[in-house]
């Protein structure tokens, strides 16, 4: 499917916003749920975009920038894989599989850009020296612009050449055993994201709650909302009953601390 001029311009804008989102990490425009949906909307098939977004979101669940460690790039992966699936007529499993090398490439690109923007930091020092606040603003926003181009240039190129036979032929050449295998892998690839989240928490002593969640989910048909509520209740009860907190609460109020905790639990049960 050849994209119209307007579609290509819109892809440029949306991928620029996703690129900015991936460094800012505020609005979450770089997350697959958002980026894939909007890209799908531009390409005229939002439903497929939403489904790719949901699938990719589960894989990317634990991708996060902690301290100075960079995560794989969800923005580039989301936009390009959605273009390949909708405009390149691929099935979602193949699109997801192509998204992974893109996420890796995006990770390298973001590290490159974040090294490049050291220059802007030094320019800002110069402006501070002269007391020019406007200059500092421009340095900051200029660096943000680089991050926008990081995603929008590759995405726009793909959008421009997707209509030509070359991309199509390349995608069609993938053997069946690979696409089938990727579909199978799609069933369990999500564990990487879960593992990232668990590792980040770094709370080994709270792992019983992980196992409890696992077993409850295994033997019930509760949906995510119900499971979330159970998790929340467990968290509240744990905090209320934990002697670590009760001891501090008891200090000013003499002996009433522990009975307070009991009362709270009684309330919870009633």
Partner 1 sequence: MEKKLTSSDFFWAFIRSNFLQGSWNMERMQALGYAFGMVPILRRLYEGEELKKAMKRHLEFYNTQPFVTAPIIGITAALEEKRANGADIPDGVINGIKVGMMGPLAGVGDPIFWGTLRPITAALGASFALSGSILGPIIFFVLFNAIRLWVRYYGIKYGYTKGTDIVQDVAGNKLQKLTEGASILGLFVMGALVNKWTSVNIPVVVSTITNAKGETVVTTVQTILDQLMPGLVPLLMTFACMALMKRKVNAIWIIFGLFAIGIICYGLGIMNVK
Distance of closest approach, residue 213 Cβ to partner 1, in angstroms: 3
- Does 59 interact with partner 1 (rule: CB under 8 A)? yes
- Does 251 interact with partner 1 (rule: CB under 8 A)? no
Out of 160, 171, 227, 250, the residue judged to bind partner 1 by CB under 8 A? 227
How many residues form the binding site for partner 1 (CB under 8 A)? 116
Out of 117, 152, 156, 168, the residue judged to bind partner 1 by CB under 8 A? 117
Out of 186, 241, 250, 264, the residue judged to bind partner 1 by CB under 8 A? 186
CB nearer partner 1, residue 140 or residue 258? 140
By CB under 8 A, which span of 82-90, 163-171, 206-214, 254-262 interacts with partner 1? Answer: 206-214
Measured in degrees and rounded to the nearest 5, phi and psi for residue 69 equal: -90, 130
By CB under 8 A, which span of 156-164, 165-173, 221-229, 257-265 interacts with partner 1? Answer: 221-229
- Does 197 interact with partner 1 (rule: CB under 8 A)? yes
Binders in 139-178 for partner 1, by CB under 8 A: 139-144, 147, 177-178
Out of 149, 171, 183, 241, the residue judged to bind partner 1 by CB under 8 A? 183
- Does 86 interact with partner 1 (rule: CB under 8 A)? no
Distance of closest approach, residue 211 Cβ to partner 1, in angstroms: 6
């Amino acid at each position: 499917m050849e994209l119209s001029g307007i579609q290509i311009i819109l892809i440029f804008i949306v991928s620029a916003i996703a690129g900015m989102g991936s460094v800012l990490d505020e609005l979450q425009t770089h997350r697959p749920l958002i980026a894939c949906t909007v890209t799908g909307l531009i390409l005229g098939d939002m439903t497929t975009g939403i489904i790719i977004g949901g699938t990719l979101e589960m894989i990317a669940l634990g991708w996060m920038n902690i301290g100075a460690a960079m995560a794989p790039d969800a923005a580039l992966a989301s936009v390009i894989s959605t273009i390949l699936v909708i405009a390149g007529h691929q099935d979602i499993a193949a699109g997801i599989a192509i998204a992974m090398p893109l996420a890796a490439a995006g990770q390298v690109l973001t590290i490159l850009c974040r090294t490049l923007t050291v220059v802007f930091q030094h320019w800002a020092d110069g402006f501070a020296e002269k007391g020019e606040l406007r200059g500092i603003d421009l340095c900051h926003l200029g660096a943000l612009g680089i991050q926008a181009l990081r995603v929008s240039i590759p995405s726009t190129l793909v959008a421009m050449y997707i209509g030509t036979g070359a991309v199509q032929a390349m995608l069609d050449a993938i053997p069946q055993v690979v696409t089938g295998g990727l579909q199978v892998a799609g069933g369990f690839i999500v564990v990487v994201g879960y593992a990232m989240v668990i590792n980040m928490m770094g709370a080994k002593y709270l792992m019983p709650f992980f196992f409890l969640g696992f077993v409850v989910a295994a033997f019930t048909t509760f949906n995510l909302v119900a499971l979330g509520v159970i998790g929340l209740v467990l968290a509240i009860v744990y905090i209320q009953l934990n002697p670590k907190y009760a001891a501090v609460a008891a200090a000013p109020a003499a002996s009433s601390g522990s009975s307070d905790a009991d009362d709270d639990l009684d309330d919870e049960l009633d």
